[in-house]
Amino acid sequence: MLKVLEHPLITHKLTQMRRKECGTKDFRANLDEIAGLMAYEISRDLPLRTVDIETPVSPYTTKELAKDIVLVPILRAGLGMVNGIANLIPTVKIAHIGLYRDEETLEPHTYFEKYPKNVKDAVVMIVDPMLATGGSANAAIDMVKKQGAKNIRLVCLVGAPEGVKAVEEAHPEVDIYLAALDEKLNEHGYIVPGLGDAGDRIFGTK
Ligand code: PRP
Ligand code: URA
């Protein structure tokens, strides 16, 4: 399932990020805020369990989150989405997957992976601002599946149709959430209109 999260605040903030004159500080702040806005929607169907508690006034049977949630940023750019989501989902644990895309071949290369203990039974949310060819996302999904993950969501800011198709074909059971579905990839594998190289814009590198 592909879900494009349309909201005026998301659209406005993403427009600021797309502007080429948007500096590192504003780019990071807008990404953080959009990730927070997306958290509401991507957590809408999280399972709850019944619990008995005591309020200051009386005993009360109510509900709380039933499953561990593991956030998996794809390094580097995925790091820019972690705080916005983690601030709103209190039980979150954070894994890391280090991948970079070879600029010539566009193939993803793995350089790091680290997981918490409960990946197998957790709701796993892979986060990365850019879904271009889908190579990095598919590699990350393969990696968390190797850890036993069964309930996997992919959360990106901007996606290209080519990347969405690649993930849907390789992992049809993974739900994909985007803030925007853009037009296409250019001949260098960049999303058009996109926002350029997300990692470089977040960290001020080139
Ligand atoms: C970017 C982006 C994704 C990947 C998307 O990362 O953050 O991880 O490219 O491209 P794909 O869908 O074609 O695989 P990059 O490799 O530039 O690394 P970085 O985050 O360290 O900048
Ligand atoms: N990675 C990025 O950071 N931007 C793109 O447009 C494509 C891949």
Domain covering 2-46+64-203 assigned CATH 3.40.50.2020 in the classification: yes
Report the pLDDT value the prediction gives residue 91, as an integer from 0 to 100. Answer: 86
Instruction: Name the residue at shortest CA distance from atom 15 of ligand 1.
Output: 100
Does residue 130 line the site of ligand 2, with CB under 6 A?
yes
Are residues 73 and 156 in contact, defined by beta-carbon separation less than 8 angstroms? no
Pairing of strands 96-101, 108-114: antiparallel
Q: What is the pTM of this model?
A: 0.96
Per-residue pLDDT tens digits for 114-164:
999 989 999 999 999 999 999 999 999 999 999 999 999 999 999 999 999
Per-residue pLDDT tens digits for 33-58:
999 999 999 999 999 999 999 999 99
Q: How many Å apart are CA 74 and CA 189, to the nearest integer?
A: 18
Report, as residue numbers or ranges, the catalytic residues.
101, 105, 197, 200
Report the pLDDT value the prediction gives residue 166, as an integer from 0 to 100. Answer: 98
